[in-house]
Structure 1
């Protein structure tokens, strides 16, 4: 490990197919369009040339990529034309993520993703093809911070001993997502909109390939059909999208489990692409409860954690800790995993004078869209139903908003569409901000925001339109400790 290692040779194939996946739609469009135009020979000649370039680039990337651990740091050397040397100290490593896609599993390999605090939206290091033994060795060297030098014989023996102790350490707690709840998670995930959006995005990529008669026939069908037929068609499309959403959820979160060993949480999931994330509990900065509009009446919620490393882009750079769990059981499970974040306290509600602002924010955008549609579109009157829905949503956002404070934590609860509750320890808060607009000032309201450290460098949580006095109390709650420390320091200096 100290001399610098290349990835497994299968990385060439994995990188090659990864690049094809990234450029799949442009390649298909270029091939299809080129095959129907006058320059058919030219386009079909360019197609294999593009594939050859991708293959050569994958080969050169593998040849020039080396990694090693020396003097207590991970060293990465890479670059085909521009050489890059990257050095990451072990104490900066926040999470160690091991995944295995279809190709990795075919070659019995894994992919390693290493996150650091403030590493941004992408992982600091990604090694696409190593053996499970090499991944285990990397994990041992990077997450074991008991020594500073890894090439020293005594240090290596110490690390091996600690790794053996960790493996031999009994599981403190283990939770698995039941199969029944996995399907409920798919049914209530709200992924239908994402599936429909993906279909629409794909349609915009291929619309130029469709003949004009397709649009004329489709438009004619909708004009001639009754509103009942259109509703049935929309219903069928939604059901199909719902089934696809359930399938995606099952594939993504199948075999989901959380294992606690000492201060480490090992989160595993996935059927086709397996993923195992090791996250240190001390790196967690916030726990978030999220209940969708469908799950809340059923008594279900999801639990996310914010941490300095470990988040994924498809989860807004957060880490999903519990995909689906009953509200009553959530705190019991968290009390075994992260007991410091289990807080039961009644929220301070928003003042009644803030209700009008929530109503205006919810209704005005709907009116801007619905009223013109009702006037000019044939079936626009049906859209008027969204006006009372907007009023109801504004009322829910007001009713569900609030905050609570303990000596060591602050709790925020808000709603956009989903109901979200954040539990933030005082010691994890990087900064606070109390602000108010001109209208808020006249009504004695304010917006209070706390910022924490997370994978993307930082995240903020806010409660809008809380009472001005409550905002002042929160500000004093956060600054009191600093003021006390400052006073103690002045007293020591005077002595």
Structure 2
């Protein structure tokens, strides 16, 4: 580790696949379209393939890494040499992942991240797993030594007991989690995107035949096709969720939380308990019916891009069990039920906003052919959503923690320790002032940017109470 090393040659394949996917659709269109200019098309397609291969080989050859007593160093670049120096004590996140290609060659990718960076400062795409674990241990041991030198400065911080605890998720629960994850919209969007490319991918005669057949469809047939697409999207999103969180394990070792997951793409995240800024509990509308939720952790440093910068601490847990789960894994986080709700006079404010929104939507839809004024009935949906927003708004104020809850179709509960809050703002519009309501915005340092949680239309006395608690 102390001598400059290149990555495993599998890096060439990973970089090639990463680059080729950006030109995959144009490449397919070039190869299947044919015509008089086919020779030019094949030459251009060859260039699209050869260039990424050459680029990947050069990147592999010019990339070296090694570790010193105090730093992790990376050297890369062809015409412009880039040297990256990362001090061990500044490393906040050390993630080990293994995608499908990496698993074929028994290698892993590593992401090294610090608190102040806007992106991962060090990325190794293909190194042996034992080397990655050695790097990780080297960094952690170095940080422990550093902590030992300054332990006298941290006597005021409550020590976390050195307890090892682990939890895994059954496949059956992952199946239920996938069905209730409400990611059908994402899968439906993917199917719609593929359908939009069908004219370029199918021969013209087949495309015309399908188009003519669709023109003969009745409203009932369109409805059946819609339900079929919805079912297909549900199956796709469920399989995706299961593959994403397969073999999910969360462990607490000393002062670290270690999260591993994935089947074809294995991911491992390590989060220091000292870097945790808050905990978030999300409950989709379907999961609320069955009493389940997902628990996320907000931490300093780069987060999981798939989860909007957060780390999933538990993908599918009974909401009533969250308190015990957090007590075992993050004992420094105090959690309690929501005790203060938005006042009844705030209900009209929540309703009016949704009613106006859905009236505008209905007014646009009614201009379409074959659409009648019954479409204004969707305003009832707006009233229903407004009611959900009103019921979900609330907070609990503890000695050193504020717990806020909000949301419409999806309910979000944020547990925010006082010492982690960066900014707390109470805001009151002219209309809110008439009915003595206020909104509150709380910002914490999360991932590479701050994240703000909010509750609209609380009693102004409650908001003033929170401002006084924080100041």
User: Which of 123, 127, 130 is matched with 1:130 structurally?
Assistant: 127
| Partner residue of 1:68 out of 45, 57, 66 | 66
Q: What are the within-5 Å matches in structure 2 for residues 411-430 of structure 1?
A: 411-430=403-422
The two structures have a TM-score, normalised by structure 1, of 0.87
1:10 and 2:10 matched: yes
**Alpha-carbon distance, 1:204 to partner:** 3.3
Shift of 1:82: 2.0
Distance 1:26 1:123, change over 3 A: farther
CA shift, 1:234, in A, is 1.1
The answer on 1:240 being equivalent to 2:232 is yes
Decide whether aligned partners of structure 1 residues 177 and 342 sit closer, same or farther in structure 2, where only a CA change above 3 A counts: farther
- Equivalent position to 1:180, from 158, 168, 172: 172
SS of 1:201 mapped into structure 2: helix
**Distance change >3 Å, CA 139–CA 382, structure 1 → 2:** farther
Q: Does 1:436 align with 2:428?
A: yes
SS of the aligned residue for 2:313 comes to strand
- Equivalent residue for 1:449, pick from 437, 441, 454: 441
For 1:395 and 1:64, locate their aligned partners in 2 and report how far apart those are by CA, in whole Å: 59
| In structure 2, distance between residues paired with 1:407 and 1:100 | 43
CA contact (8 A) 1:99 1:273 kept: yes
SS in 2 for 1:103: helix
| Structure 2 CA distance for aligned equivalents of residues 380 and 307 of structure 1 | 51
SS in 2 for 1:243: helix
What do residues 267-322 of structure 1 show as CA deviations (whole Å, max 9, x unaligned)? 11111111111111111111010011111011111100110125222211110010
Instruction: Flag structure 2 segments of 5+ consecutive residues without an equivalent.
Output: 150-160
> Structure 2 residue aligned with 1:95, among 93, 96, 102?
93
Secondary structure at the aligned position of 1:458 is classed as: strand
Indicate conservation of the 8 Å contact 1:118/1:453, yes or no: no
Aligned alpha-carbon RMSD (Å): 2.3
Counterpart in the other structure of 1:483: none
Question: 3-state DSSP class of the match of 1:23?
Answer: helix
Q: 2:296 aligns with which of 276, 284, 304?
A: 304
Distance in 1 separating the partners of 2:92 and 2:50 = 38
Residue 10 and residue 225 in structure 1: after superposition, are their counterparts in 2 closer, same or farther (change >3 A)? closer
Question: Aligned equivalents of 2:18 and 2:217: distance in 1?
Answer: 44
2:23 aligned with 1:26, yes or no? no
Alpha carbons of structure 1 residues 383 and 313: separation in structure 2 relative to 1, 3 Å: farther
**How far does residue 199 in structure 1 lie from its aligned partner after superposition?**
1.8
For the Cα contact (< 8 Å) 1:97–1:113, is it kept in 2?
yes
Which of 262, 265, 277 is the aligned partner of 1:273? 265
Q: Distance in 1 between matches of 2:353 and 2:445?
A: 30
Query: Which sits farther off after the overlay, 302-311 or 213-222?
Result: 213-222
Q: Distance in 1 between matches of 2:404 and 2:133?
A: 39
Corresponding residue for 1:337? 329
- 1:371 match: secondary structure: helix
1:364 to 346, 356, 360: 356
The separation in 2 between residues aligned to 1:416 and 1:448, in whole angstroms, is 17
Contact 2:336 2:396 in 1 (8 A): no
Q: Is this contact kept in 2: 1:310–1:319, CA < 8 A?
A: no
SS of structure 2 residue aligned to 1:67? strand
* Local SS of the residue matching 2:285: coil
Structure 1 position 441, deviation (Å): 2.7
Distance (Å, rounded) in 1 between the aligned partners of 2:206 and 2:438: 54
Structure 1 equivalent of residue 344 of structure 2: 352
Q: Does 1:108 align with 2:75?
A: no
Q: 1:416 to 1:341 in 2, by over 3 A?
A: same
Residues in 1 aligned to 2:288 and 2:355: alpha-carbon distance in whole angstroms: 23
Contact 1:96 1:310 survives alignment (8 Å): no
- 2-side partners of 1:209 and 1:381: how far apart? 39
Q: Work out the CA distance in 2 between the residues paired with 1:445 and 1:30.
A: 60
Give the Å deviation of 1:420: 0.6
Which residue in 2 is equivalent to 1:462? 454
Determine the structure 2 residue equivalent to 1:486: none
Distance verdict in 2 for CA 1:118–1:385, change over 3 Å? farther
Per the alignment, residue 401 of structure 1 pairs with 393
User: 2: distance between equivalents of 1:335 and 1:276?
Assistant: 22
Deviation at 1:209, TM superposition (A): 5.2
Shift of 1:409: 0.4
Name the counterpart of 2:306: 314
Cα deviation, residue 443, structure 1:
2.7
Which deviates more from structure 2 when the two are superposed, residues 462-471 or residues 177-186?
462-471
Give the structure-2-normalised TM-score: 0.91
Distance 1:219 1:363, change over 3 A: farther
